[in-house]
Structure 1
Amino acid sequence: MDHTVSRPPEIEMAVYAGRPPAQVRLDRAAPFGWWAAAVIALVSLVDKVEFYLVAGALPLIQAEFGFSDTWGGAISTASLVASAILLLPAGYLADTGRRTGLMAAIVGSWALLTLGSGLAPTFALFFGMRVLLGGASQLYSPPAASLLADYYPPGSRARAFGFERMAYFAGTPIGVAVGGAVGQAYGWRSAFFFVFVPGLLVALLCLTLREPIRGIGDRIGEAQKAAGVPGPDAAATKDETTADDATATAAEKPRLREVIPQMREVIAIRAVRLVFTGLGLLFFGIGGIMWWLPTFLQRFNGLEAGPAAGIAGGAGLVGIIAGTLLGSRYGDRWQDRRRAWRVTLSGGSLLAGALFLGAAVGVPVLGVRIVMFLITNAFFCVAIANLTAGLADLLPAERRGVGFALLQFTLALSGALGPLLVGAVSDLFGSLLYAFTALLVPATISGLVVLQARSSYDTGAVRT
């Protein structure tokens, strides 16, 4: 009787810069563990919590400083425009510098600027602090996305990016809830002091991550296919690659003068353009909704600042977690079986989300409105997790920093317009209801645009 125990498939590869080769298990969804995804998810969480503290405490801040709805929306808009200006240089740094150290420096600056927001004695100084925070807030995205693509092979990227996106969007309702609850109980300034210490702790956690060699996630995916490992649960035979081979295939670092041609190379991929457009339209609507939702519930359902922020945050958080978990699970499971599955799932989810958003705005009953907003968030997050993972599939390893910087640039600009236009329409017509109704248009168009990417998605992924 043969009692030989089959060994799991392994491959020897150079994984971390300046370190000897390591044995990599090919049958694992996360060959290097999930710690990197957890830390990057915490970075995303802190980013949005800090940014959306203002939305939860906005009525209280308005009461102290006495500014209009237009200026209330302009806080978010100016902050996001500032971040958009710095995103492309951040993409270059993500493709050339040490990404883990860059993230730690960015998160530390957020914490200091959040503290400054709580100490601001005038609206002008408060506004300035928020603009500076906005300039730094999105800079982590290019290095974070590049790291995730290197830590995790294609077969598990929807889960890795899904966790990061879940934390990113979960930070929005948490920030809203903390801003409103702490603001009402202890004053709006206390909400900013409350988040200062967690921000510093997450900055230190970024320094625990090792810097992987660029493109290692793609090479592991190729090794899995060569060894006959279609997924993390399958068995296969052993394959080996030397450190010299891995180093020879590593992507060269781009030079600064080559960034513009690299941007053109990214935009030349049709599926990438459609993903950018669809997500941009979606973020236009999401930015306006989440920034003004607590105020909306106060004005139209008679809630106070704390309960309004708590309800808005709770509905958003539950929907975000449910949508991201479902989207990540089924995005990875069926991506290899169905043509352009990720964009098909995303487009359908965006259209369904727009339908439930209409119900949330149109039905005045508080309980129904909360459930409709929850379902809306769930459908939107199914799409966001899969479109982000799909973008990593479409972009070459040496262009992911620039590619995700372009994506974040698009999202920052489109998301910046939502809060400002909602506030301006509210001042113009004297009601937030008209402004919220108008946001149904970009939400619907986003789903239609994403579905157009089906015909070119597989071609772009194969070319990459």
Structure 2
Amino acid sequence: MRDTESQPLEIEMSVYAGRPPRRIRLGRAAPLGWWPAVVIALVSLIDKIESSLVAGALPLIQEEFGFGDTWAGAISTAALAASAILLLPAGYLADTGRRTGLMAAVVGSWALLTLGSGLAPTFAIFFGVRVLLGGASQLYSPPAASLIADYYPSASRARAFGFERMAYFAGTPIGVALGGAVGAAYGWRNAFLFIVVPGLLVAIVCLTLREPVRGLGDRFGRLQNPTAEEEPTVSAPVMKPRMRDVLPQMRQIITIRSVRLIFVGMGLLFFGISGLMWWLTTFMQRFSGLEAGTAAGLAGGVGLLGIIVGTLAGSRIGDRGQARRPAWRVTLSGVSLLAGAASFGLAIGVPVLGVRIGMFLFTNAFFCAAMANLTAALADVLAPERRGVGFAVLQFTLALSGAVGPLLVGAVSDLFGSLLYAFAVLLVPTAASGLAVLRARSSYEAEVVRA
């Protein structure tokens, strides 16, 4: 089978559920175009902007409601814990239902719930609204990840997931900067009201996506790189999983060694990075003598630049090296995580503002380079009919581990009277994440073949 960029191979095949076959150019990295990746990235972006507004406006919210650092950390912890409860049902729906419609419904619902944050008259009501939003916000993740895996072949998945991961992480510093800037200028409540309309618009944009046939991305990959054994013309129908089968599927997914180690590594990373990003504005304000708005803008700007550079560079290097070295994505991710942990250590250990800014930038860049490749690696290992549940288990792991970070930092800060000591605690899980991921290299190649 010959294929070049100048004369790409065209083939007629079924690509969208319930629609007639269409001609596809297989020589492209994205046979169905990059629009689906852009839309899913917008969903991740608006979600993280909204959830990070609290971090940017946190000093102002604490000032109005009068609560300490432990309760401040508990806001994020409770929201993430609530999302973990609903992630497994969301994974089941992603494997059985219409993923594009589910994603649009989720985004629209939490966009409306955002109104409650800006209108809450007491801290108790504000806290309750954030818990409800936490339960709704992460439900888009399993269907979104499953869609990306079906829209794009393995050779370009790191880039496709890179768009989504870049938007996901970029939303955090944007939300932090927006929350701080709008809060300082117009009051923190207006920061939440500002994001309602963009959220509803993104929900409408989700409806432009068509539902791809399950396993389509894997079929693209096989046709682009044919082996001696040709793909059968008629494949056996894939049985949709039942809800009662979710727990057995979870256990089966966890038995895959590389998946298990990647879950551990990403969980440890989120433990550290959630605590870092939630408290970074407050850290910059307390230890650099900056005003709340300036601290939020600086933290957001440094984070955003590092996220963009790290994700773009990491996903591109990951895709290029994967074709030559089967476990390249995993190796690159492990090394990036260790480098990010080292940068984080320098950022909190050197009391010079310029050094801290640079090291926080490198920290975000290395961590995000790893995340894009690890997400693509999971899509390679998981079978198409199990990706919804698989990514739900991943997001469940990330939600629970990420929930601990902000609360732990706040509690340690109150206990020792220093946010610097609390940040130092996060060095251990961030370094351990790289070591866990590197251990997955030995089994990853064989498990990709079995998927």
Q: After TM superposition, give the deviation of residue 290 of structure 1 in Å.
A: 0.3
2:258–2:444 Cα contact (<8 Å) kept = yes
| CA–CA separation in structure 2 for the residues paired with 1:318 and 1:251 | 43
Q: Within 5 A, what are the aligned runs for 1:27-106?
A: 27-106=27-106
- Match runs of 1:152-301 below 5 Å: 152-226=152-226, 245=234, 248-249=235-236, 251-301=238-288
**Partner of residue 328, structure 1:** 315
Does the aligned pair in 1 maintain the 2:263–2:397 contact within 8 Å? yes
Name the counterpart of 1:144: 144
1:363 alignment counterpart: 350
User: 4+ runs of 1 displaced by more than 4 Å?
Assistant: 239-242
SS in 1 for 2:67: coil
Q: Give the letter for the 1:52 counterpart.
A: S
Normalised TM-score (structure 1): 0.94
Query: Deviations along 1:312-338, whole A, 9 cap, x unmatched?
Result: 000000000000001110100010211
**AA partner of residue 20 (structure 1):** P
Q: SS where residue 15 of structure 2 aligns?
A: coil
Within the candidate set 321, 324, 343, 1:337 is matched to 324
For 1:280, give the aligned amino acid.
Answer: G
1:109-124 → structure 2 map (5 Å cutoff): 109-124=109-124
User: Are 1:400 and 2:414 an aligned pair?
Assistant: no
Q: Secondary structure at the match of 2:24?
A: strand
CA distance in 2, matches of 1:202, 1:429: 43
CA contact (8 A) 1:251 1:397 kept: no
SS state of the match for residue 225, structure 2?
Answer: helix
| Identical aligned residues as a percent | 77
Partner of residue 425 from structure 2, selected from 427, 438, 442: 438
Structure 1 residue identity aligned to 2:435: L
Instruction: State the alpha-carbon separation in 2 of the partners of residues 302 and 9 from structure 1.
Output: 60
Query: Counterparts of 1:26 and 1:339 in 2: how far apart (Å)?
Result: 22
How many angstroms does 1:7 deviate by? 4.8
TM-aligned CA deviation for residue 45 of structure 1: 0.2
- Matches of 1:272 and 1:443 in 2, distance apart? 18
Counterpart residue type for residue 47 of structure 2:
D
Q: CA deviation at 1:241?
A: 8.1
CA distance in 1, matches of 2:236, 2:320: 29
Match of 2:406 among 419, 426, 430: 419
The amino acid of 1:201's aligned partner reads L
Say whether 1:461 aligns with 2:448: yes
Q: Is the 8 A contact 1:267 1:273 kept in 2?
A: yes
Structure 1, unmatched stretches of 5+, are 1-5, 229-238
For 2:197 and 2:120, the matched residues in 1 are separated by: 18
Q: Is the 8 A contact 1:215 1:251 kept in 2?
A: no
| C-alpha contact 1:271 1:460 (8 A) present in aligned 2 | yes
Deviations 1:265-306 (A, max 9, x none): 111100000000000000000000000000011111111110
Amino acid at match of 1:221: G
State the one-letter code of the partner of 2:238.
Answer: A
Q: Is the 8 A contact 1:142 1:401 kept in 2?
A: yes
Corresponding residue for residue 17 of structure 2? 17
Cα root mean square deviation, aligned:
1.3
Instruction: Indicate yes or no: 2:94 matched with 1:107.
Output: no
Report the CA distance between 1:177 and its aligned residue. 0.3
**TM-score normalised over the length of structure 2:** 0.97
CA contact (8 A) 2:8 2:28 kept: no
Query: Which amino acid counterpart does residue 224 of structure 1 have in structure 2?
Result: Q
Q: What is the deviation of 1:227?
A: 8.0
Separation in 1, partners of 2:334, 2:363: 14
Q: Which amino acid aligns with 1:344?
A: T
Q: Distance in 2 between the 1:90 and 1:294 partners?
A: 32
Q: Distance in 2 between matches of 1:249 and 1:355?
A: 49
- Give the distance between the partners of 2:122 and 2:169, measured in 1 at CA: 30
Asked if 2 retains the 8 angstrom alpha-carbon contact of 1:13 and 1:241, the reply is no
Q: Which residue of 1 aligns with 2:378?
A: 391
CA distance, structure 2, for counterparts of residue 337 and residue 251 of structure 1: 31
For structure 2, the 5+ residue unaligned runs are 1-5
- Tell me how far 1:339 sits from its aligned partner: 3.6
The aligned residue for residue 3 of structure 2 is: none
SS of 1:12 mapped into structure 2: strand
Please, which moves more after superposition, 426-435 or 252-261? 252-261
